């Protein structure tokens, strides 16, 4: 519970508009870790974190660093935290995920929380913000945590991407040495610099009327199909109005021998100039798809997506292509396309680099190719 003085401080925030106050590290933020948590808290540094009253809402700017220790025998590969100012208030909940970790047992590692949250100013008592552990992924892909945010699937997929990307760079190193690895890193950096960017805005509920955007048409998806994908897209469509795609729907078939509970479809948009952009990913709309072997199901979104270039210029949609980017089986196993499949389908030029590739590229920028060689040798 907050002290009487802290309660009066909160009341003052509600009365004095736009007045900023620093967060009290003793009462403003609570870090909740279970008794059997595989990570322990050493320190919470609130830095320049502050709260500002704006009308009936309180705006909380968190600029915080947690120092955590791996208290588990296994190496940690990823962590997700759930950050709450208010569970049901829009803007009151957020998360922080740190992938591409390699934290040995007993080692200490930082987790930075840089978020803006909203909280009704009239709520009194208790901490302003609570930080909860949602999940920890270990080296053997085992998982700990309540998984409220589906962080097990997310962290596992990122870890598999990290292993895939390291394997690619190690194969380049083995075939062409450090000079070849440097050429590959530089080529990937140039590719990322040239990658077409697209702004995507998700509109839920009624959007701009068709009369304001132009005539509506039904557009079919084309599909890139990977030979080893456990799920195959069959057909799909969306209603196109100018730069807006409405209610995309895709039918898929499980061609594996295992039940599937999640499918993600990458979505590529082509504009009238012939440029292609990685636009979005369509997850299964049901919390758990439960697609039995040999059965078909639908991935659909009752939303509209609006596309624009930097500067707000609308992108008129000329074509759409989809591909299976991720599959989760009922047993928790994950499938992602391998590097060769992505290269063969020419997807590497439009896909954003994985967190692991970004990490390795950052090492190259700061320390050079030999540091990347040493980093790859750790795995």
Contact 284, 262 (CB under 8 A): yes
Asked, for residue 150, whether it belongs to a domain, the answer is no
Q: Tens digit of pLDDT for each residue in 30-77? A: 999 999 999 999 999 999 999 888 878 889 999 999 999 999 999 999
CB atoms within 10 A of CB 336: 21
Per-residue pLDDT band for 213 (boundaries 50, 70, 90) equals low
**Which pLDDT score, from 0 to 100, does residue 196 have?**
83
**Looking at the structure, do residues 126 and 248 belong to the same domain, yes or no?**
no
Q: Tens digit of pLDDT for each residue in 27-42? A: 789 999 999 999 999 9
More confident residue, 289 or 338: 338
More confident residue, 11 or 364: 364
Mean pLDDT computed over 207-235: 83
**Looking at the structure, do residues 187 and 217 belong to the same domain, yes or no?**
no
**Looking at the structure, do residues 213 and 294 belong to the same domain, yes or no?**
yes
**Which pLDDT score, from 0 to 100, does residue 328 have?**
95
Q: How far apart are CA 134 and CA 291, in angstroms?
A: 26
> Measured in whole angstroms, how far is the alpha carbon of residue 133 from the centre of its chain?
17
**Looking at the structure, do residues 209 and 317 belong to the same domain, yes or no?**
yes
**Looking at the structure, do residues 9 and 137 belong to the same domain, yes or no?**
yes
**Looking at the structure, do residues 309 and 239 belong to the same domain, yes or no?**
yes
Q: How far apart are CA 167 and CA 191, in angstroms?
A: 19
Asked, for residue 367, whether it belongs to a domain, the answer is yes
Average pLDDT, the chain: 88
Q: Tens digit of pLDDT for each residue in 83-103? A: 999 887 788 999 999 999 999
Q: Tens digit of pLDDT for each residue in 144-153? A: 999 999 999 9
**Which pLDDT score, from 0 to 100, does residue 123 have?**
65
pTM value?
Answer: 0.87
Per-residue pLDDT band for 272 (boundaries 50, 70, 90) equals confident
SS3 265: strand
In the chain, the largest separation of any two C-alpha atoms, in whole Å, equals 68
Asked, for residue 151, whether it belongs to a domain, the answer is no
**Looking at the structure, do residues 224 and 294 belong to the same domain, yes or no?**
yes
Q: How far apart are CA 180 and CA 203, in angstroms?
A: 45
DSSP 309: -
Domain coverage including residue 161: 156-194+357-376
Q: Tens digit of pLDDT for each residue in 186-209? A: 999 999 999 888 888 887 655 555
Contact 267, 300 (CB under 8 A): no
Domain count along the chain: 3
177: left (phi over 0), alpha (psi -120 to 50) or beta: left
**Which pLDDT score, from 0 to 100, does residue 12 have?**
39
Give the CATH number of the domain where residue 280 resides: 2.60.40
φ and ψ at 339, to 5 degrees?
-60, -40
Mean pLDDT computed over 335-363: 95
Q: Where are the beta strands (DSSP E) in the chain?
A: 20-22, 29-32, 39-45, 50-54, 57-70, 76-84, 93-98, 108-120, 129-138, 143-144, 199-204, 216-224, 231-241, 244-254, 260-271, 276-283, 296-300, 303-308, 317-329, 334-335
Q: How far apart are CA 324 and CA 303, in angstroms?
A: 20
Asked, for residue 348, whether it belongs to a domain, the answer is no
**Which pLDDT score, from 0 to 100, does residue 24 have?**
73
Contact 109, 43 (CB under 8 A): no
């Amino acid at each position: 519970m907050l002290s009487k003085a802290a309660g009066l401080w909160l009341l003052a925030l509600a009365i004095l508009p736009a007045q900023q106050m620093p967060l009290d590290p003793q009462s403003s933020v609570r870090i909740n870790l279970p008794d059997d948590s595989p990570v322990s808290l050493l320190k919470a540094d609130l830095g320049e974190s502050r709260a500002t009253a704006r009308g009936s809402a309180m705006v909380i700017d968190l600029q915080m660093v947690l120092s955590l220790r791996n208290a588990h025998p296994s190496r940690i590969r990823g962590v997700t935290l759930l950050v709450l100012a208010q569970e049901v208030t829009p803007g009151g909940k957020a998360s922080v995920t740190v992938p591409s970790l390699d934290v040995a047992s007993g080692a200490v590692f930082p987790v930075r929380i840089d978020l803006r949250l909203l909280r009704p100013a009239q709520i009194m008592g208790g901490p302003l913000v609570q930080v909860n552990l949602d999940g920890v992924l270990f080296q053997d892909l085992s998982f700990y945590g309540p998984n409220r945010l589906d962080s097990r699937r997310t962290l596992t997929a990122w870890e598999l991407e990290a292993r895939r990307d390291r394997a690619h760079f190690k194969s380049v190193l083995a075939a062409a040495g450090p000079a070849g690895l440097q050429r590959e890193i530089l080529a990937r950096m140039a590719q990322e610099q040239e990658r077409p960017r697209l702004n995507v805005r998700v509109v839920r509920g009624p959007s701009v009327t068709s009369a304001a955007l132009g005539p509506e048409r039904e557009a079919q998806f084309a599909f890139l199909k990977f030979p080893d994908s456990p799920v195959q897209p069959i057909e799909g469509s969306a209603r196109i109005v100018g730069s807006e795609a409405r209610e995309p729907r895709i039918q898929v078939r499980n061609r594996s021998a295992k039940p599937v509970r999640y499918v993600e479809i990458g979505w590529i948009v082509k504009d009238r100039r012939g440029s292609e952009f990685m636009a979005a990913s369509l997850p299964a709309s049901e919390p758990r798809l439960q697609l039995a072997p040999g059965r078909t199901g639908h991935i659909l979104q009752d939303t509209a997506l609006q596309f624009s270039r930097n500067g707000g210029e609308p992108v008129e949609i000329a074509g759409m292509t989809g591909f299976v980017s991720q599959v989760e089986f009922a047993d928790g196993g994950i499938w992602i396309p391998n590097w060769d499949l992505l290269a063969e389908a020419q997807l590497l030029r439009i896909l954003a680099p994985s967190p692991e590739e970004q990490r390795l590229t950052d090492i190259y920028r700061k320390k050079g190719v030999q540091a990347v060689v040493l980093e790859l040798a750790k795995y």
